[in-house]
């Protein structure tokens, strides 16, 4: 048995302001992973069309996510940073995956149900096929590891199902090309062209919740700006939002067990832990028994300490769009070379003449 060469891939949509959930659930992990891995980070602009077709500020949004990647510490020279539309192979593989994925699989996607809302007939076909494009984003590089927040878990399971079905259906065509490798999926030996992607979701804040309601995800689309900390928020805004964050009247517990049934406390402790690169247990051993009147100021200091330099660097980078575009062009070129290699192999496996 052999294994696929480890490769990290992830993407962020250029829609709305990035918030602390995007940072802790995704971008902070991207930065940590680049130390020991080959990484590809993508601004998924094609995905941004699925919920809303026309965006007045598309280019600014793409640059702003790129600026966040760079400001957070991603190195675009050692790794690849680019926007999805520069690599048409994503859309091409997505079409093939549209023919691999089954309608029944897509019907189970909870994010489609949430985003389409009541009037499903009016949702775009793109929104429905969204997870198929997401699978193509990853598999067009045959990437193996995908750091994301918990809300993307179901999409990554679908990516595994698509990879598995492609491998199985084309098994007899993959073998003679010599392009596949023997892997184990559970106990099952499979001759695979596409790897089974591993989601990287763990950490103290896989799902950062709204500051106003600990049972709702922190989200770009929440009408209340007080529900989230945006990466572009200044010190005063961060401080105000944490001070006003919903809590309960009790002191913090000394053990993580004590956070059960206290969603707001759990969320704030998770945020602290993720910002400090600690576990929730470590945070509670420091703050257990303390009131929120003590914990919140410490959280404000920590959030400002971590986010202010990122915020300042994002603003600096945004003043030089030419530089950001050059980074994306360079990344796009390198991504295209890799993606085209995969697509040529896929074309050969399927039997397209070229
Ligand atoms: P997007 O743009 O909605 O979010 C970007 C990343 O932020 C994470 N995230 C959160 N993590 C913790 N708590 C939260 N409240 C929170 N809100 C968002 C998301 O899980 C995500 O990791 N479908 C993806 C983009 C995508 C992609 C891909 C990701 C397209 N192709 C291929 C990985 C691989 C999305 O809409 O993320």
Same domain, 64 and 153: yes
Task: Answer whether 201 contacts ligand 1 (Cβ < 6 A).
Answer: no
Sequence-distant (6+) residues with CB within 8 A of 344 are 354
Gap between the Cα atoms of 117 and 341, Å rounded: 39
Q: Where does the pLDDT of residue 252 fall: very low under 50, low under 70, confident under 90, or very high at 90 and above? A: very high
115 given a catalytic annotation? yes
Q: Tell me, yes or no, whether 149 and 125 share the same domain.
A: yes
Split at pLDDT 50, 70, 90, the class of 16 is confident
Nearest Cα to Cα of residue 142 among 325, 352, 351, 349: 349
Q: Are residues 275 and 335 in the same domain?
A: no
Domain presence at residue 217: no
27 with 89, same domain: the answer is yes
Q: CA–CA distance from 114 to each of 11, 120, 193 (Å)?
A: 20, 10, 33
pLDDT at residue 2 is higher than 80: no
For residue range 215-239, what is the model confidence (pLDDT) as tens digits? 999 999 899 999 999 999 999 999 9
In a domain, 220, yes or no: no
* Confidence band for 192, pLDDT divided at 50, 70 and 90: very high
Q: What pLDDT, on a 0 to 100 scale, did the predictor assign at position 1?
A: 63
Contacts of 98 (CB under 8 A, 6+ apart): 129, 132
- CATH code for the domain in which residue 163 is found: 3.40.50.620
For the question of residue 217 being annotated catalytic, the response is: yes
Express as a percent the part of the chain with pLDDT over 90.
Answer: 96
Q: Are residues 15 and 136 in the same domain?
A: yes
**Mean pLDDT confidence for 312-334:** 98
How far apart (Å, rounded) are the C-alpha atoms in residues 57 and 62?
9
Given a cut of 90, is residue 321 above it in pLDDT? yes
End-to-end CA distance of the chain: 32
Same domain (yes/no): 84, 151 = yes
Same domain, yes or no: 301 and 154:
no
What CATH code is carried by the domain that includes residue 274? Answer: 1.10.240.10
Torsion (CA) 189, 194, 199, 200 in degrees, nearest 10: 100
Q: Is residue 219 part of a domain?
A: no
**CA dihedral for 133, 134, 140, 142, sign (positive or negative):** negative
Mark whether 152 and 36 lie in a shared domain.
yes
Annotate the chain with three-state secondary structure.
CCCCCCCEEEEECCCCCCEHHHHHHHHHHHHHHCCCCCEEEEECCCHHHCCCCCCCCHHHHHHHHHHHHHHHCCCCCCCEEEEHHHCCHHHHHHHHHHHHCCHHHHHCCHHHHHHHCCCHHHCCHHHHHHHHHHHHHHHCCCCCEEECCHHHHHHHHHHHHHHHHHHHHCHHHHHHHCCCEEEEECCEEEEECCCCCEEECCCCCCCCECCCCCCCECCCCCCCHHHCCECCCCHHHHHHHHHHCCCCCCCCCCCHHHHCCCHHHHHHHHHHHHHHCCCHHHHHHHHCCCCHHHHHHHHHHHHHHHHHHHHHHHHHHHCCHHHHHHHHHHHHHHHHHHHHHHHHHHHHHHCCCC
Ligand 1 pocket mutation pick from 148, 160, 198, 335 by most atoms within 8 angstroms of CB: 148
Whether 273 and 135 map to the same domain: the answer is: no
Burial class (CB in 10 A: 0-12, 13-18, 19+), 195: buried
What domain count does the chain have?
Answer: 2
Q: Is the pLDDT of residue 38 over 70?
A: yes
**CB of 22 shorter than 6 A to ligand 1:** yes
Cα–Cα distance between 159 and 12 in angstroms, integer? 17
- Residue with CA nearest ligand 1 atom 36: 13
Model confidence at 247: pLDDT above 70: yes
- 328 and 307 in one domain? no
Mean pLDDT of 101-108: 98
Same-domain pairing of 69 and 187: yes
Does residue 2 lie in a domain region? no
Q: Is 246 a catalytic residue?
A: no
Residues 196 and 86 in one domain: yes
Q: Whose CA is nearest to atom 27 of ligand 1?
A: 11
Give the residue-averaged pLDDT of 233-253: 97
Which pTM value belongs to this model?
A: 0.97
Measured in degrees and rounded to the nearest 5, phi and psi for residue 210 equal: -60, 145
Q: If you measure from the C-alpha of residue 78 to the centroid of ligand 1, how many angstroms do you get, rounded to a whole number? A: 23
pLDDT tens-place string over residues 138-181: 999 999 999 999 999 999 999 999 999 999 999 999 999 999 99
Mean pLDDT of the chain: 97
Tens of pLDDT, residues 41-67: 999 999 999 999 999 999 999 999 999
Residue 239, token pair as written in the block: 């401080």
Of 206, 235, 238, 208, which Cα lies nearest the Cα of 225?
238
Cα 201 to ligand 1 centre (Å): 11
Residue 232 in domain: yes
Residue 335 inside a domain? The answer is yes
Binding site membership of 149 for ligand 1 (Cβ less than 6 Å): yes
Please give the Cα distance from 257 to 126 (Å, whole number).
42
Is residue 268 a part of any domain in this protein? yes
Would 214 be classed as within a structural domain? no
Domain that holds residue 312: 225-317
Regarding the beta carbon of 200 and ligand 1, being less than 6 Å apart is answered no
Residue 229 in contact with ligand 1 by CB distance below 6 A: no
């Amino acid at each position: 048995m052999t294994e696929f060469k480890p490769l990290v891939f992830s993407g962020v949509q250029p829609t709305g302001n990035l918030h602390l959930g995007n940072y802790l659930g995704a971008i902070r992990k991207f930065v940590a992973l680049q130390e020991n891995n080959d990484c590809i980070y993508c601004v998924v602009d094609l995905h941004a069309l699925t919920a809303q077709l026309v965006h007045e500020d598309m280019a600014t949004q793409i640059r702003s996510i790129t600026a966040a990647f760079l400001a957070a510490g991603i190195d675009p020279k050692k790794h690849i940073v680019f926007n999805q539309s520069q690599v048409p192979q994503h859309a091409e593989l997505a079409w093939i995956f549209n023919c691999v994925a089954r309608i029944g699989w897509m019907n189970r996607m909870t994010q489609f149900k949430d985003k389409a809302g009541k009037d499903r007939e009016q949702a775009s076909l793109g929104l429905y096929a969204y997870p198929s494009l997401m699978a193509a984003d990853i598999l067009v590089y045959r990437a193996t590891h995908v750091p994301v927040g918990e809300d993307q878990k179901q999409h990554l399971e679908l990516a595994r199902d698509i990879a598995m079905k492609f491998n199985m259906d084309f098994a007899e065509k993959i073998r003679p090309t010599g392009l596949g490798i023997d892997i184990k999926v559970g106990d099952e030996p499979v001759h695979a062209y596409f790897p089974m992607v591993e989601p990287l979701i763990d950490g103290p804040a896989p799902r950062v919740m709204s500051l106003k309601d600990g049972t709702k995800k922190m989200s770009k689309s929440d009408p209340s700006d007080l529900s989230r900390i945006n990466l572009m928020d200044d010190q005063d805004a961060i401080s105000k939002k944490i001070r006003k964050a919903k809590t309960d009247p009790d002191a913090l517990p000394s053990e993580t067990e004590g956070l059960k049934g206290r969603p707001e406390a759990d969320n704030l402790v998770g945020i602290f832990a993720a910002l400090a690169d600690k576990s929730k247990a470590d945070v509670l051993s420091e703050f257990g028994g303390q009131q929120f009147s003590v914990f919140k100021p410490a959280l404000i200091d920590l959030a400002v300490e971590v986010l202010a330099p990122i915020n300042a660097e994002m603003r600096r980078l945004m003043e030089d769009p030419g530089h950001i575009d050059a980074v994306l062009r360079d990344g796009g070129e390198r991504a295209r070379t890799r993606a085209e290699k995969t697509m040529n192999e896929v074309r050969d496996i399927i039997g397209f003449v070229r």
